[in-house]
Structure 1
Amino acid sequence: MVTKMSVEQPLWHALTGYRLLAVGYAITIYVWALDRFRHPVPGAVYLAVLTVWTLATLSQVSSARRCTKRFLAVDVTLAVGGILLSVYVDGAGAVNPTIPTIWVAGPVLAFALKGGWRWGAGASVLVGIANILEQGDVTRPTLHNVLLVCVASIGIGYVVEVVRASERTLAQALQIEAATRERERLARDIHDSVLQVLAMVQRRGTALGGEAAELGRMAGEQEVALRTLVSSGLVPAQGTAPAHEQEGPPSAEAARGGSGGRSRILAPVRRRPGRGAGAEDGGNGRTGRAGVTGSGDASGGPECDLRPLLSRHAGAGVTFVEPGAPVLLPEHAARELAAAVSAALDNVRQHAKGPAGGPAHAWISLEDEPDGVLVTVRDDGPGLSEGRLEAAEAEGRLGVALSIRGRMRELGGGAELLSVPGQGTEVELRLPKAAAGRSARS
């Protein structure tokens, strides 16, 4: 949950405090010099009205919404009236400050906070003219006070305008981020369900022939249209092709049209014992090793053991290695991590062939580390050719980008993929426990 905090609001609170202190200061100065005024009674009445007005309008200066134009007009009129009244009350000029003294800066600052530096400059000029009329001449102290109020109001008004523009930009960025995250979530769900079914119908229909082939062709067309719709706004769509045409190596043009994801191709290296591969996802596999770390947190919830969620994938073609103790994670985090593993296994089943030409064998390894959970999915398939992932993302095939990397990014973890052509692919999914803990606490 994001709590909105206005940077402008503390300035209004400061103005409220300033007005209270200023009216107290004006009363103190007036009482201290009471015997030197020529007509003290009108000045005392004015200060009484000023005190009541200040106390009664505290709520008006608590925010820009409450500070109306009518209030500002009355406020600055009261300030100018007090300055001009000082000519009559202090006819001999025995007391230098005007009756409201520093209180007159309050209305000017209110103008600046409400309407920006232009409003503040206008109000300060109006108060400055009143001060010059009260003095009867442009003296150095008067000019100094006028310029001081003018500079302060313009500076604060400009700061307020910058703050408001920054808050609007931040609000728009948060809306875009929320919309993008929701779009990615929907795209993952579509990829894990509808697109997989359409691709299966297309392959089976082509294999059966006859009317089934026509059904498969229609399913392929719908798959391409849906992938284009899902990928629009997420990656630059540069053309699509039916699924059966994308299983082979991509063209050089498609490889150059990648999405610019952070990945690199590893030169062939000696294969580590027991290290196999993850998988290629419908043209969305990752060539090379790419680390993606997100800052999002999984939503909170009760903890559950991750082992049963992964053990259901074990079978003739999948070997699952698990620790002896439960691996506890918040329920949502555990299910999303298991879904990412399922997406990696789908890639193995659909696109990876074993050394003997049959289906590739996959291994799932679950490790409960002190600071996080590591799940490794590897296979003994042929690996990924150079540029395959970039071309797949450009074609709108976002299995790895959304179903694997997107899920891990939102959980606060990361996904790393290692592939060497001819030596299989490996997917490492790492989720820090701190990220899962923060989400559970929230």
Structure 2
Amino acid sequence: MGIEGPFWRAIAVFRIASVVYAAILLARAGGYGHPVAGWLVIVVMATWTAFTAAAYPSARASWPLLLADLAVTAGCLLSAPLVQDRAAISGGVMPITATWVAGPALAWGVARGRRAGAASAAILSAADLWLRGSQGMNFASLPVNGAVLLFLAGVVVGHVAQLAREAEELMRRAVQLEAAGRERERLARGIHDSVLQVLALVQRRGAEIGGEAAELGRLAGEQESALRALVQVPAPTDDLAEDGLTGQRGPRQRALRVPGKGGPADRVDLRDLLRPYGSARVTVSAPATPLFLSAGTAHEVGAAVGAALDNVSKHCAEGTRAWVFAEQDGEAVTVSVRDEGPGIPDGRLEQAAADGRMGVARSIRGRIADIGGTVEITSSHAGTEIELSVPADAGRWWRV
């Protein structure tokens, strides 16, 4: 039944209340001119109301049911001359159906949209006006207020029902995106714990051994980067936000966002700061999910990564490949910068600090230490890896 269920229940309540109202009017008028016929029409209305209350939700408002509803309602409306005197009808007395006549307009609007609701209202309004005109009412004095209200009811209800269906579809897509994101994240974790680590080991060991093994290691490094990119889930885009979708967030969750940014108000997705470092010789790989850090922490990590890549440009041969890998492991966010250069000679960092060259000591170690993180540098003739680790102080969306 979906989102239409509440609409059908509301229409059923409206029809029941309208039948009761029509019966009260009939009783107060003493049965109109023909009491037996009047109560027979009321029975037909009550029976059809009970039938449609059960049929609409289960039959999903098929065209045969909609047309039958319109025909039965129009028939009850046009039976007014059998119940009421000609003078009463021509004098503007409400027909036997009273407000019950609006049921099909509401049903058509919910089932087929505002145009169908308007069409149904037009047919019923035309039947009402023809009835009054055929009973001697002057054309110039025909009441149109009821027709206008009926038309507006069909259009408005149809429009609201259409908006509700669109919202339901957006919610369904959001749930699918969230489920797909969770599955890809699960696969990414499994791949990281097995395949990616093996490929990284092959790349490192192949470079250390040299010869044909070095070429095998290089290919393993390329496949590691490609695989990381494959399991990465893009961050939510502005287009999705405009459609009511919010990436991997559930349909009932909202994140506090800065206009044009990808995270909560005082948080920054570290991936957005690392991606600009990507180039023909630098591969940037990030996990499937956002890596939110406080703005200050994220920018310091990004600057440290930039300093590490600057060192690759300065101290390695032109065209030396480098890789930047970012991930969240429990309560820490780790970023490693790996290159395939000649490595850092023993004592080189200490000598550079003594000579006043503080590229590593301040731009990397100092930055990370100031934000409560750690730096680990591993170097050999096969290359250098600088691993930055900082507390994951904002690794999840804020939900309100």
Farther-moved stretch of structure 1 (252-261 vs 147-156): 252-261
- Is the contact made by 1:64 and 1:113 (CA closer than 8 Å) also made in structure 2? no
Q: Secondary structure at the match of 1:77?
A: helix
Match for 1:264 among 284, 290, 299? 299
1:268 positional shift: 9.4
Query: Residue in 2 aligned with 1:128?
Result: 125
Q: Distance in 2 between matches of 1:347 and 1:91?
A: 91
The percentage of counterpart residues that share the same residue type is 32
Q: Distance in 1 between matches of 2:94 and 2:346?
A: 96
- Is the contact made by 1:376 and 1:429 (CA closer than 8 Å) also made in structure 2? no
Which has the larger helix fraction? 2
Q: TM-score, with normalisation over the residues of structure 1? A: 0.56
Match for 1:33 among 16, 19, 29? 29
Q: Secondary structure at the match of 2:324?
A: coil
- Is the contact made by 2:323 and 2:338 (CA closer than 8 Å) also made in structure 1? no
1:133 positional shift: 1.4
State whether structure 2 residue 82 is matched by structure 1 residue 47. no
State whether structure 2 residue 103 is matched by structure 1 residue 106. yes
Match for 1:87 among 81, 86, 101? 81
1:429 positional shift: 2.2
Give the residue type in structure 1 aligned to 2:68. V
State whether structure 2 residue 70 is matched by structure 1 residue 76. yes
Q: Distance in 2 between matches of 1:355 and 1:268?
A: 25
Please list every run of 5 or more consecutive structure 1 residues that lacks an aligned counterpart in the other structure: 236-249, 270-280, 287-335, 361-374, 383-421, 436-442
1:225 positional shift: 3.8
Q: Secondary structure at the match of 1:283?
A: strand
Query: Residue in 1 aligned with 2:367?
Result: none
Q: How many residues are treated as equivalent by the alignment?
A: 302
- Is the contact made by 1:377 and 1:428 (CA closer than 8 Å) also made in structure 2? yes
List aligned pairs for 1:5-404, cutoff 5 A: 6-34=2-30, 36-37=32-33, 39-61=34-56, 63=57, 65-94=59-88, 96-136=93-133, 137=137, 138=139, 142-231=143-232, 263-265=298-300, 282-284=323-325, 338=330, 341=332, 344=334, 347=336, 356=347, 377-379=373-375, 381=377
Query: Residue in 2 aligned with 1:428?
Result: 391
Q: Distance in 2 between matches of 1:67 and 1:267?
A: 57
CA RMSD of aligned residues (A): 4.7
Q: TM-score, with normalisation over the residues of structure 2? A: 0.61
Q: Distance in 2 between matches of 1:214 and 1:266?
A: 32
Give the residue type in structure 2 aligned to 1:66. R
- Is the contact made by 1:82 and 1:100 (CA closer than 8 Å) also made in structure 2? yes
Give the residue type in structure 2 aligned to 1:174. V
Residues 172-222 of structure 1: CA distance to partner in whole angstroms, max 9, x if unpaired? 233223223322332233233212211211221222234533443443343
Cα 1:187/1:426, change in 2 over 3 Å: closer
Q: Secondary structure at the match of 1:107?
A: helix
1:265 positional shift: 4.7
Give the residue type in structure 2 aligned to 1:135. R
Q: Distance in 1 between matches of 2:63 and 2:11?
A: 17
Question: Which fold has the larger relative contact order, with Cα–Cα distance below 8 Å and residues 6 or more apart in sequence?
Answer: 1
Q: Distance in 1 between matches of 2:115 and 2:152?
A: 12
- Is the contact made by 1:108 and 1:120 (CA closer than 8 Å) also made in structure 2? yes
Cα 1:32/1:6, change in 2 over 3 Å: same
